[in-house]
Structure 1
């Protein structure tokens, strides 16, 4: 049986996508996220999030948050849904950090932003903001820890959801001849360092990564 390895443990509904596909699934969490105790500045009301974990850590630190005070700019549909579920006003959702930074540069260049992020955040967004003299502060609210795990077998497909997930997997394993299925272009940039056999999801969602893997491996 063809089998894929997911570098994050999937939800029950996500696993169901594999049930009738004839493709096996192995899963583990390649990353661990640790929320930090920090003081969130209250005077900056324009917030930037590029991950759901940053949102969760932020909400964990501010349970008495007056959400009506904030205007939020974020990356990713799932991040947007989590913000809105917690009654935060999302002004702009972009598919990636560069797109969001360019939106801010063009549409909100005079505002002061708070970039809420983790220790492994990428450089694209802060670089673009800095190059365009847009005021922002940055606060680290969680840390990403790589969790190595060795697999004494090969897989027809590997599912990756972040560049850090790829780095974690490679601490104990090699890509070999697997197809790599990536959630977005940022993850794919890291994957291209190790293989040309990769497919990027049409939409940056876990579900679409699974669909791409099933469609490819059923016909391969």
Structure 2
């Protein structure tokens, strides 16, 4: 076991099913992870019937979208997926897609929706019709871009992100002195504040964000000492904490 985060207490706020990997990585570096899931992910059936044959591309921007999409897909539609190209926002989303036996045809170099839009049409100027798989709190970067560029697309919501009202955030904040508080989405920042974490902002904690969009939300609510992963992944967040630890 490494000691690069030796005895550093790390608050992990991401959804429960996704927190385990983060926790194990912190432990592997000698840190002390404390899980307080601030969000719940609930799959939902699309409001409208989706005919896969109508699309040339399917865009996935999260692992949650992948799992909930395939959960709702019937066998006949599953066989039609082989004729559709797939785009993923990052390598974790790509790995989730591969679990269902499909390959990804487009992956941006930088793991953000903004980067996805910048490079996709350069490589595929005439993509046909796109199916965009989203959650209820997904950003509007892709829909706005497609509309602006006159790209034909349909959007479906396959999961809902809700605040975990059973979260024991205040208990954790009162019990532990955290070296790092981690946020993996703007929604986790919002949930932190709404779960009475606002008062903790004055303690000037070190915040670790998975990417620039989450960083912007953290700044908006008042956090000042913010680290951002160079690579927008949990591994990138771990490295950001390690590098900060070396400098301190």
Q: TM-score, normalising length from structure 2?
A: 0.80
Residue 160 (str. 1) matches residue 183 (str. 2): yes
Matched, 1:40 2:50: yes
Q: Which runs of 4+ in 1 moved over 3 A?
A: none
Question: What is the Cα-based RMSD across aligned positions, in Å?
Answer: 2.1
Match of 2:88 among 45, 66, 74: 74
Deviation at 1:180, TM superposition (A): 0.7
Q: Secondary structure at the match of 2:232?
A: coil
Deviations 1:27-84 (A, max 9, x none): 1211101111233332213101110100001110115212312201110110011112
SS for the counterpart of 1:196 is coil
Gaps of 5+ in 2: 1-6
Asked if structure 2 preserves the Cα contact closer than 8 Å seen for 1:18 and 1:214, the reply is no
Distance 2:98 2:21 in 1: 23
Task: Give the helix-richer structure, 1 or 2.
Answer: 2
Could you tell which deviates more after superposition, 128-137 or 32-41? 32-41
Contact map agreement 2:26 2:33 (CA 8 A) in 1: no
Relative distance call for 1:13 and 1:166 in structure 2 (3 A) is: closer
Structure 1, residues 143-178: CA drift from partner, whole Å, max 9, x if none? 100124332425221111000011011112123311
Q: TM-score when scaled to structure 1? A: 0.90
CA distance in 1, matches of 2:214, 2:104: 24
Kept in 2, the 8 Å contact 1:2–1:217? The answer is no
Paired position in structure 2 for 1:57? 68
- Count residues in correspondence: 219
